[in-house]
Structure 1
Amino acid sequence: MEKKIDELIEQLNKAKGFSRKTAERFIFDLITNREKISDFKDIIKYIENNFTECEKCFYLAENGVCPICSDEYRNHNKIFVVSSIQDAHTTEKSNLFNGLYHILKGEININKNQTPEKLTIPNLLNRVDKDKEVILALNSTFEGEVTANFIAQLLKAKTNKITRIAKGMPVGGMLDYIDDLTLKSAINNREKYED
């Protein structure tokens, strides 16, 4: 039985946000509070049956295209490029940006075998023309900088409106951890991308 519990903990530990200790607590909580199992089954079933990725921007969608991409009142000439759905969700909750998003599904990280081909960069390039402003809102980490530089070089052939959020984020900071005031400052004070 101990071996099976360890296997369950390891499996849960693979999910983002679950350290080994958190996974262990979660498993034991479900074992000792059986009524919670039903709640989590419902959550997982709802996600499985209702949520997909938007075919345009890779944000959350319920019917192929997300409500952001299909909203005619949003500014379709601004694309906010982020690493993850969580980053877009954080920005969207702040009500500070009224354009579109593009989720890269990660950042370039050769050590973790996360190469540019594994990101949604070609999809981004297909969405950009000379009228679009692309706002690079990647994390203030080494991987975020490498990814921003790589994308900016590719975008130069498509548009000269490449900006990036201001350095209001602390070095090493993650977008989904910053407060609304810092995010607002970073968006409002964005600057033309210079390599």
Structure 2
Amino acid sequence: MNEIIEILKEFEGIGTKAAKKIFFEILTNQSKKDKLIKVISEISEKFSFCERCFYYKKENYCDFCDQKKRNQNQMCVVSYLTDAQKISESNYNGLIHVLNGEINLPKNIQPENLKIAQLFDRISTDMEIILALNLTFEGEVTANYLGARLKSKCKNITRIARGIPLGGVLDYIDNDTIDDAILNRKSIKEEE
């Protein structure tokens, strides 16, 4: 039992208490156990990583690489698979590249530990690279590193806009976010 609980705790966001609850729920509920076995089997059989963009493929089809209608001259670079999933749910119509992490020197995650070499293999001078990295210290370090290395290798390098989220109330927003929102403001004419 303890070994299974330790394995469950390896999943992000699951602590000891939640792992124990999951274990006992699976142990005592045959229907949930059967569903879990089916889901894990389906993931193993139908899903894999795309060797090109490092997003996932379902039944050997990648929503980004295998969809020819996508803009082949625009590539959005993200840190994690979950970020790519969020981009796929938006109206973005270009390519994607998942780095599988961010530069983090204290944790010994160097640029060579990420999918940066594979990114450089995919880009051309005609492309716009959109850096959609997290607004964390590690995300900023990674964006700055990529920005410096990409300058001469592609047509344009951009960052996603930062600022106040939809529904955000100024009274609850920190000063850095307000500064970014003012800096990245748009003309009302641009929105029409």
* % identical equivalent positions: 45
Q: Deviations over 1:55-84 (max 9, x none)?
A: 210111135551321211111111011111
Rounded Cα–Cα distance in structure 2 between residues aligned with 1:160 and 1:82:
19
| Superposition RMSD in Å | 2.1
Rounded Cα–Cα distance in structure 2 between residues aligned with 1:154 and 1:63:
35
Aligned mate of 2:126, from 128, 131, 137: 131
**Which TM-score applies when normalising by structure 2?**
0.80
Tell me which residue corresponds to 1:8: 4
Rounded Cα–Cα distance in structure 2 between residues aligned with 1:6 and 1:125:
44
- Contact 2:8/2:19 (<8 A) preserved: yes
How many residue pairs match? The answer is 168
Rounded Cα–Cα distance in structure 2 between residues aligned with 1:103 and 1:169:
25
Matched, 1:158 2:145: no
Rounded Cα–Cα distance in structure 2 between residues aligned with 1:34 and 1:122:
46
Tell me which residue corresponds to 1:121: 116
Rounded Cα–Cα distance in structure 2 between residues aligned with 1:142 and 1:169:
19
Runs of 4+ deviating beyond 4 Å? none
Deviation at 1:165, TM superposition (A): 0.3
Letter in 2 for 1:152: G
Q: Deviations over 1:22-45 (max 9, x none)?
A: 222211211121221111111111
- Contact 2:50/2:57 (<8 A) preserved: yes
SS at match of 2:89: helix
Q: Deviations over 1:109-163 (max 9, x none)?
A: 1222222111100010111111111100011101100111111111113024000
SS at match of 1:163: strand
Letter in 1 for 2:86: T
Tell me which residue corresponds to 1:40: 36
Q: Which has the larger radius of gyration?
A: 2
Matched, 1:109 2:110: no
SS at match of 1:12: helix
- Contact 1:56/1:65 (<8 A) preserved: no
- Contact 1:135/1:163 (<8 A) preserved: yes
Deviation at 1:18, TM superposition (A): 2.0
Q: Deviations over 1:83-116 (max 9, x none)?
A: 111111112113x201111000111112222221
